[in-house]
Structure 1
């Protein structure tokens, strides 16, 4: 490296829309605008620290129409947002404040990815929020994917939280698979006190 060059590698500048740049430069000016004014920029805002926080706050009091506008844009990108550092919070807010239909559609997006997301830092939070928020039928679908991987999840720092949330939110008769997974494993688990 030449003596006067920076030790920091060349990193491409973050490309933001003008709307997001304006928002980041003057969030107070945007506080009273409805979510519908972010049309075509929802996913970009969801992936931005400040934009995500704005959407989360607005979703708590949004009308069904506003929720529908936001949801229409996030649903096609839901899988990516579920594991995104900021996007996961928007997905969690939909599990908390979305309509029943929106919660169901998001829980369907988890299909085939539950174990992967359970062991991912941000995805595990989405799975936990889903388990707190969806009807029993959807919970059973979610935990069904965990059945063959209980011990793998238990030994994972993120997956462990998901298994604990299953125990907390799912009726005991549906959790036999967790008990069976622990059979003959108790003495091999370092944190077990039995």
Structure 2
């Protein structure tokens, strides 16, 4: 039943509201079923919104489970009209939940990965953008203190204006 509701124009909104307002014991069976159908839901015109909602507002373990279920499929899903939005949110969720700031710093220094970071900043909602900028700021400061140019992803943003 959760899959059917998640792929319905109004049902997907009902599932999102249930995830927001119900207790963990009430939402866990729903999340279990969502995880069972994640790959199908990310490709659905309505189901993708439910998965994005979990990636933006869910518990870290549910975000990690979705990222794990999609790992190895990011390239093909990136070419899909609906799934591409989920891929963006999954990457943002994985970076924000990674406890190692060095991983983000290494991405920022890389000649290709820094463009991914810049695109994530463009695609992130305001709360995610603020969280990403708080993770980027130390790399910017570390580079300035060391007399080096900041990594491209850090150099291209004005921190005081963006973070406030």
Shorter-chain TM-score: which interval?
Answer: 0.5 to 0.7
| Residue 164 (structure 1) aligned to one of 119, 127, 149 | 119
Conservation of the 8 A alpha-carbon contact between 2:16 and 2:53: yes
TM-score by length of 1: 0.51
Q: Deviations over 1:28-53 (max 9, x none)?
A: xxxxxxxxxxxxx0011101111111
Match of 2:36 in 1: 76
Match of 1:136 in 2: 98
Secondary structure of the 1:133 match is helix
Gaps of 5+ in 1: 1-40, 155-159, 174-178, 180-194
Structure 1 residues 63 and 86: alpha-carbon distance in aligned structure 2, compared to 1, 3 A threshold: same
Conservation of the 8 A alpha-carbon contact between 1:88 and 1:126: yes
Matched, 1:45 2:5: yes
| Residue 115 (structure 1) aligned to one of 54, 58, 75 | 75
CA distance in 1, matches of 2:14, 2:59: 19
Conservation of the 8 A alpha-carbon contact between 1:78 and 1:91: yes
CA distance in 1, matches of 2:20, 2:74: 26
Secondary structure of the 2:48 match is helix
Conservation of the 8 A alpha-carbon contact between 1:131 and 1:166: no
Structure 1 residues 166 and 111: alpha-carbon distance in aligned structure 2, compared to 1, 3 A threshold: farther
Conservation of the 8 A alpha-carbon contact between 2:18 and 2:27: no
Match of 2:64 in 1: 104
CA distance in 2, matches of 1:96, 1:133: 7
Superposition CA RMSD, Å: 3.3
Secondary structure of the 2:44 match is coil
Gaps of 5+ in 2: 123-128, 140-151, 153-164
Instruction: Give the structure with higher Rg (CA).
Output: 1
How many residues of Structure 1 are paired with residues of Structure 2 in the alignment? Answer: 121
In terms of fraction of residues, the more helix-rich structure is: 2
TM-score by length of 2: 0.60
